[in-house]
Each structure stands twice: as structure tokens, then as C-alpha cells.
Structure 1
Amino acid sequence: MKQYLGLELPSDKAQDTGHEEEGSTLSPGGLKFLSIIRADILSILAEENIASLRALDSYLKEKLITWLSPASLELRQITWDDPASVLEKIVAYEAVHPISNLTDLKRRLGVGRRCFGYLHPAIPGEPLIFIEVALLKNVAQTIQEVLWDDPPIPEDEATCALFYSISSTQPGLAGINLGKFLIKRMIDLVKKDMPNISVFATLSPIPGYMQWLLSKLASAERSGSTFQENILEPEEEKALLDASVEIAGKNGMEVMWNLLTSTNYEWINSDRLVSVLKIPLMRLCARFLLQEKKRGKALDSVANFHLQNGAMIGRLNWMADRSGKGLLQSGGIMVNYIYRLENIEENAQSYFSTGHIHASCDIHCYIEPLKEHEETTD
């Protein structure tokens, strides 16, 4: 296990004597090489569960976590003046909202915007992970406000730091939560430099929502009337059928399926269909985020990431991302996660230990409108 492809990994003895960080740089490019190896291993394991590779992956992950401790990472603001090689990495690895051109990149690094990256001395000039931040007066409800509205407000008028994209540049670091430390250090840095900022929030995609909803609709149709789950409320189904007389379907769920799977998302061009779909899609999205779990944790990967970092679910935003990707992932809905500094540790601990999800009253009211919730934070 100590060797792989002729590369000698640092011994456990080095770790015991406190030199584990040096072990990652014994050979030039060693840390980068190990990250590439682990990326290859993860790719193979995605296709076939090989016990020996699973064990090697576990070993490499443990070592990488040790070498990539927060103390070994440098937080740096990335600006337009950085070397082209760094800027190229930002463009290439932006995973949430692709950067369309140099003008787009310059705006994301300019006035009213920030980009911070974590760098490691063993991989100089290449951020391992980076976060993009917008300085705003209020928590944004649409991605258009962040990416395309112009001009930005003066920075001294901003009261909200909104992080709208977190991207990793190293597939081999999957499962190593560098984002948790990056967010906390970024918040500390912004608070120090800009005391007028009091709100820290995200505008996040919900990548698992539409896949979950369509599987529910398909399952309900296959099960027949006897065991069919009631996805739609009676008034929602009636409104949907009334508004979509030209759409084939024997019931509201079949009509919804046909609308949501239409190739060109024609429904977003009809004000009436957008209006009638809003109520069930927002209600079911709240259910997905609050109640759908995997091993006791949020089913949605982005939700799980922010909740385990101590955020709470703040607000659902209708038609917040009308791009093809946004409609495919979540019917255009996005969500704000709120980071309240005084609650971060408590929220993270309760989520870790019990799977408890902290959310605002607005979120709970989508699925239980008349009930007051002990966990609600105003």
C-alpha cells in the first residue's frame, strides 16, 4: 500500500513525528501527482467496485486530508492582475455558472465582486478551490442580478456578501471538504476589510431536485391508482389541467411530466403555465430540501454541503435561473443558504449528529403553512 506506480508514499512514521506536511513535497509535483492518481482511482471505482482500489483510495484520501490542513493553505484574492495561467484556471474550472468571455471574467473580478482561492505551496500558481462573491445591498433572488445586471453598486453601499459559485480545480480532491474552511476564512476576511457587510448568504442551484421530482412522477404513474402517491394537491391539479388544455395527459401529474420534460421548456414562455406551476414546484422543492434524506442527511448534494458547514435554508427563489441548465436541474428555482456567524457551529453540530435541518419560516410554510416550528429562525 506504501507504493503505487513506483511512487513511495510518506511513511506513517513521518506522520507520527510531525512531518506529514513535508511528506507531500518530498518529490517535486508529488501532491499534484497523488491528486491525479486519486482522480483516476475514483473514475475506475465509479465503474467497478474493486476492493484493493477502494482501500488505496481510502489511504490516499486520509493522507491528502492531513497534507491539506487549513494551516498549510494560503487564502488569496484572485484579481484581474493575476498571471494569465491563474485566470485560465478560473475560466476552465468554473463549475456552476460558466464564464462566457473575457468581459464576463473581468466583471467577476472587478468592482463589487470578489474571487478568493485556496493555494498550496506544493502546487504553486494553481488554486485548489475558489469561491466567487458578489457585494450587494440585499440577498439576490436571481442569478441575473449577480451575473448580468450592470453597473454594480458602490462597494461602500453593500451590506450583503453573496457567494454564488464554489468550484474545485482538482477532481482528485473529491470528498475533501476544503470549501468548509474556505467559506469561514472568506467570511472572516470580508468582515475585517468591509465592516459594512453584515449578511453572508449564497444563491445556490438545486441540482438534484428535478431528477427527484421526475422520478416521483414516473413512479406514481407506474404504480397505478391504488398505490399512487398524491404529488399534487387537488386545487393544484385543477389549475394545471385548466391552464394546459392543449397538453396531453390523463391527469395533472402526467401533464406536469410532459411540461417539465419538454425539449425546449416551452412552458416558461406562457405566463399562465408559469403561474400555475409555481405553487406545486415551490412546495415540492421545499419538501425535497427539508424532508428527502440519504443516510439521514439532505439528499441534494449542494444542500448537504452548506448544511454541514453550518448554514440554514433561507429562501426559495422562483425563476431565478432561466438557463437551460437551471431549468434542467431545478425548474429554474434557486435557494439562498444563510450563514449566521453566531449559529454556524451549533447548526453544523446538530446537522451532523441528528440530521436536523435549520430553515426559515418561509421554507417550512410551503409544506406546513399553519404550523409553527421550534427550529425556525427569523
Structure 2
Amino acid sequence: MSILAELLSTVFERRQRSVQPAPSDGRPLQELADALVGSAGETSGLALAEEILSRFEPLDDDGKLVFFRHLASAMNIAPDAVRATLETYERDPSKASYRAFMAASEPRRQELIRRLNRLPNATGALVRMRADLLRLGRGEPELEALDIDFRHLFLSWFNRGFLVLRPINWESPAHILEKIIAYEAVHAIDSWDDLRRRLAPADRRCFAFFHPSMPDEPLIFVEVALTKGIPDSVQTLLSENHAEIPATEADTATFYSISNCQAGLASISFGSSLIKQVASDLATDLSGLSTFVTLSPIPGFTRWLEAEDISTTDADPERLRALAADYLLNAKRPGGLPLDPVARFHLGNGAIVHAVHAEADTSDKGRAQSAGTMVNYLYDLENIAQNHERFATTQEVACAPEVKSLAATARSVPA
């Protein structure tokens, strides 16, 4: 942990210890929100913030919607004021006219969210509040606009400079390990023994990003296997009988699971920074590592096969590999980006499609979403930046020659 991170953690811990329970205020939450934005005193503002957050969380969905709709309407911008201040600024650009325009164009609800966040422990509560907003506001334009304000502020509060990278191992606190089990979203952790197999051996690693204001809540974590060579099966990788090797003998770091932990931080991206930081740290710590790859699911593959009326009932492994390669390289969204969400993520980070494997995930989930196939995305640390730039500019899917040749055979074999 960096010196800055330690300092931030200390500051937040002191803030947490300083909170005193506030007397209850019987006014409706909407009135409390209006009062908080208009409050001038720090003590009274903290009391209002504590009252709002403590009363919001146990509300049922109808109660939460009433609160959100108040923020979306009564605390929205005033279009006439925005137009008037913009016209003034256009006529006479100055510090004062620009300040007036900025004040008019920022909805009062942004200031409300900031003031709520002054309360110790409030950041986690606001993340949970946004999770409720995303869940309840889908399809309601005013509430979707309200979410833009939450996201705007969260992008600042959760930028990479504030995040703390921590290793997770078998000696980590039990409450953190319980959350790793609960939040694992790619390959379910079935038991404490299963978790131990992923954390305790010398050839296994796990890292998570934390925010100093949420020290007991991982934001995202990645699981890594240190191997000799590139693995082609997740069941083999996670087998209880896998042959453990000393970390110093490994030549490959395989990222086999990345899990976002907080629904309220959707669209706040941490994965790219996490993978690159972990790869860089591992390369520094273990000089024998020369290859950094993922072993990733292909979650849209079976849906694409169905949409293309391609049957794989009797398909042999080579046929499945060819179809998966074709899907990864050639199935596109409008605008040219890959159809597969995991492919978009890794290619956008600067990785390339390195290899495709059949019978690589034989779990029920693996067969249902990927027809049992998996893919290695290769992170060449020297070429990540240029791969990222090329993908961002052209949407070209960078791949190994074997994958390109494999994809070309997919349409030459009758379905």
C-alpha cells in the first residue's frame, strides 16, 4: 500500500470514529434533502445527511422511487436559467458570467450527493443508493438522467489515484474472504476448501482494489494462476489435484477470473487498471514470468450460434474452435465493436486474441453461455498501448495468426 493510500485510510478511519448519532428529524426525506442543500452549518449538515441516509436504506421500493423522483424533478436544472446565463456569457465572457453559467447548469442534486458524502461512511451508502437507482430507474428517462449525476461524481471519487491495491490470501480477514466467495461472478466458489485452493498455494494469487472510504468492501478483484505454459481448461486449472509449483518456476500468469463487486459502481471501470497494475507488479516480483494471458469465457457465443441458426449438437472440438474464432473476430455490434462483451473489454485494454479452446469449461454455465469454449487474451506488456490505440481507432480485432486461420475455416464447413 502506498504512503498516500495509508494516509487516506488513516484520515477516513478518524472520520469514522468521530461520528456521533444525531437526533431524529421527523420531516419527509424530500424536505430533508432540500434543507441539506440549503444548509450553511457543518454540524447541522452532517446531522441532516445522517438522517437522510439512515432513513433511505430501509425504505421499500415505492419509498425509494418517491425520493429519487424528487431529486430528478425538484432538484433538476432550470433550463431558462441555463439559457439566460449562457447568453450572458456569450455576450460578455468573464469569470463572473462563467461562474453564473456553471452554477445554473449544475443540478442541485449534485450538491446534495456531495453533501451526503461528507458524512463518514457515506460513500458506501451512496454506492448502494445508486444500485437501487439503477435497478428501479431503468426505462424512466428522468431517473436515468439522475444517474448521470451519480456517475459523474463517482468517476471523480473512484478514480485510480484513490484506489488501493491489496493482495487477498488465505490469511486475509474472514469478512473479506466471505465477500470474495459472495462476489465471485465467473467461476463460482463452492466452499471454503474451494476458496483455499485459489488462495493458499504458492502458485495462486488474488488482488483487489479498495477505496479508503470503503475499506471492508472490495470494488473488483482478479484471480491469477501462475503456471508453466498457457492453460486451456479452467477445470484443470482449478482442480483440487492440480500439481502446485513454486512461484519462481512459473513462466505464465493466467488471469482466470475478474469480478466486479459493487452493483452501484456499474460503468465505473476498474478492470483495465487492475489487470495492468497486477501484471506489472507480478513482472517486477517474479522475473521468470514472460507471458500474461487470460483464460476467459465467451459469454455471447451460444446466443450468436442460435441467431445464426448454427447447430453444434454434433460439432467436434475443431468445429467449435473455428466457430468461436469466427465469432470473436467477425461478429460485430453496430458501429464495429466486437459483439462479445468480454472481447470488448480485453481488446479495449490492449490485449490480443491468442488462442481458442474447446471443452475448456465443462460446467453447466460454461456450456450454456460458451458451448464449453474459452479464449486466451494475451497481454504483451510492451505492446499494450499501441494495441489499445489501434483498437480504439479502427475497432480491428488483433489476433494471433493461428486464430485468424481458424476463423477462416468456420464458414467453409457446412453447418
TM, length-normalised to structure 1: 0.76
1:195 aligns with 2:235: no
1:127 aligns with 2:218: yes
Query: Per the alignment, do residues 193 and 54 of structure 1 end up closer, same or farther by CA in structure 2, a change over 3 Å counting?
Result: same
Q: Provide the rounded CA distance (Å) in 2 between the counterparts of 1:4 and 1:363.
A: 60
Residue of structure 2 equivalent to 1:158: 250
Deviation at 1:202, TM superposition (A): 0.3
Where 2:323 maps in the other structure, the secondary structure is helix
- What is the alpha-carbon distance in structure 2 between the residues aligned to residue 177 and residue 352 of structure 1? 16
Of residues 320, 324, 337 in structure 1, which corresponds to 2:377?
337
Offset from partner CA, 1:323-365 (integer Å, 9 cap, x none): 1111101110000000001111111111112211100111111
Name the aligned partner's letter for residue 360 of structure 1: A
Q: Distance in 2 between matches of 1:90 and 1:132?
A: 10
Q: Is the 8 A contact 2:356 2:375 kept in 1?
A: yes
1:179 alignment partner in structure 2: 271
Deviations 1:111-136 (A, max 9, x none): 21000000111101221110000000
Cα deviations across residues 52-95 of structure 1 (Å, max 9, x unaligned)? 11111111112111111111000000111111110000000000
Measured in 2, the distance between the counterparts of 1:37 and 1:277 equals 48
Question: Corresponding residue for 1:305?
Answer: 345
SS in 1 for 2:253: strand
- Match among 163, 172, 185 for residue 95 of structure 1: 185
- Report the secondary structure of 1:135's partner residue: strand
1:211–1:196 CA distance, 2 compared to 1 (3 A)? same
Amino acid at match of 2:128: I
Tell me what 2:21 maps to: none
The AA in structure 2 aligned to 1:195 is: S
| Structure 1 residue 359 corresponds to structure 2 residue 399 | yes
Cα 1:66/1:101, change in 2 over 3 Å: same
Asked if the contact 2:361–2:367 (Cα under 8 Å) also holds between the matched residues in 1, the reply is yes
Contact 1:128-1:168 at 8 Å conserved across structures: yes
2:307 is aligned with 1:215: yes
SS in 1 for 2:316: helix
Kindly indicate whether the alpha-carbon contact (under 8 Å) linking 1:74 and 1:120 is maintained by their aligned counterparts in 2: yes
Amino acid in structure 2 at the alignment position of 1:70:
R
Q: Is the 8 A contact 1:144 1:321 kept in 2?
A: yes
Larger C-alpha radius of gyration, 1 or 2?
Answer: 2
Q: CA deviation at 1:190?
A: 0.6
> Unaligned regions of 5+ residues in structure 1, if any?
16-21, 218-230, 232-252, 260-272, 370-378
Which structure shows the bigger proportion of residues in helix conformation? 2
Counterpart of 1:58 in structure 2 is 148
2:132 paired residue among 27, 40, 47: 40
Q: Is 1:146 matched up with 2:225? A: no
- Looking at structure 1, the residues matched to 137 and 116 of structure 2 have their Cα atoms a distance apart, in angstroms, of 24
Match of residue 282, structure 1, among 321, 324, 335: 321
Is this contact kept in 1: 2:133–2:147, CA < 8 A? yes
Query: For the Cα contact (< 8 Å) 2:164–2:210, is it kept in 1?
Result: yes
Tell me, in whole angstroms, the C-alpha distance in 2 between the residues paired with 1:100 and 1:195.
Answer: 33
Note if 1:76 corresponds to 2:154.
no
Task: Please report how far the alpha carbon of residue 25 of structure 1 lies from its aligned counterpart in structure 2 after TM superposition.
Answer: 4.7
- Counterpart residue type for residue 97 of structure 1: H
Kept in 2, the 8 Å contact 1:307–1:351? The answer is yes
Equivalent-residue separation in structure 2 for 1:349 and 1:336 (angstroms):
20
Q: For the Cα contact (< 8 Å) 1:25–1:122, is it kept in 2?
A: no
Rounded Cα–Cα distance in structure 2 between residues aligned with 1:66 and 1:59: 11
Determine helix, strand or coil for the equivalent of 2:325: helix
Describe the SS at the equivalent of 1:293: coil
The Cα shift of 1:24 comes to 8.2
CA 1:336/1:279 → structure 2, altered by over 3 Å: closer, same or farther?
same
Aligned counterpart, 2:63:
none
Length, aligned pairs only:
305
Aligned AA for 1:86? Answer: I
Partner of 2:62: none
Q: Which amino acid aligns with 2:263?
A: P
Alignment of structure 1 residues 226-245 onto 2, 5 Å: none
CA distance change for structure 1 residues 192 and 54 in 2, over 3 Å: closer, same or farther?
Answer: same
Q: Which residue of 1 aligns with 2:122?
A: 30
Cα distance in 2 for partners of 1:347, 1:24 equals 41
Amino acid at match of 2:141: A
Residue of structure 2 in register with 1:269 after alignment: none
Deviation at 1:23, TM superposition (A): 7.1
Q: CA deviation at 1:157?
A: 0.8
For residues 378 and 277 of structure 2, the distance between their equivalents in structure 1, rounded to whole angstroms, comes to: 16
